[in-house]
């Protein structure tokens, strides 16, 4: 049965004007996206995003304004019977330096996830795997011109 899949992502831009991205490999499928994940039943959007950052990065964030949401049909890459509705919020933290990043090969080939910073001025839509992330990367670049 077709259903909606609500996704919540955070755009964390540090004081060096770099944005955090997540390189992941799940079930042999490698992808690059913005940090975040799925809304769980009973959660609000901002609470879900705070939970995702705590789970994925052990990081408390303040969720700011809504930056973008898709108002068009997008099937899930993982389950084509699901329609994605993705929300991207600006997030902030005073502890951005505590985020563990390292030099790793992209695409990630080992199961799991790793994070890295990309200067906003160097964002390229082709760095991202999913169509909505590509749109957001382009808009984020334009917003920081």
Look at residue 6 and tell me whether its pLDDT is greater than 90. Answer: yes
How far is the C-alpha of 22 from the C-alpha of 29, rounded, in Å?
A: 14
Structural contact between residues 7 and 85, judged by C-beta atoms closer than 8 angstroms: yes
pLDDT (tens digit per residue) in 72-112: 999 999 999 999 999 999 999 999 999 988 788 898 899 99
pLDDT (tens digit per residue) in 33-50: 999 999 999 999 999 999
Question: Exposed, middle or buried, 132 (CB in 10 Å: 0-12/13-18/19+)?
Answer: buried
Domain boundaries of the chain, sorted by first residue:
3-143
Structural contact between residues 45 and 89, judged by C-beta atoms closer than 8 angstroms: yes
Sign of CA dihedral 56, 87, 40, 128: negative
Record the pTM. 0.94
To the question of domain 3-143 being in CATH 3.90.78.10, the answer is no
């Amino acid at each position: 049965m077709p259903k909606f899949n609500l996704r919540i992502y955070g755009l964390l831009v540090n004081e060096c004007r770099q944005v955090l991205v997540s390189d992941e490999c799940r079930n042999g499928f490698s992808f690059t996206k913005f940090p975040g994940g799925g809304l769980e039943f009973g959660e609000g959007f901002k609470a879900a995003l705070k939970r995702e950052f705590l789970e994925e990065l052990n990081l408390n964030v303040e969720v700011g304004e809504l930056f973008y949401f898709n108002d068009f049909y997008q099937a899930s890459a993982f389950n084509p019977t699901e329609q994605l509705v993705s929300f991207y919020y600006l997030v902030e933290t005073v502890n951005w330096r505590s985020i563990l990043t390292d030099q790793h090969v992209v695409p990630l080939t080992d199961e799991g996830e790793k994070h890295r910073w990309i200067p906003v001025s160097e964002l390229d839509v082709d760095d991202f795997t999913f169509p909505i992330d590509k749109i957001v990367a382009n808009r984020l670049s334009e917003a920081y011109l």
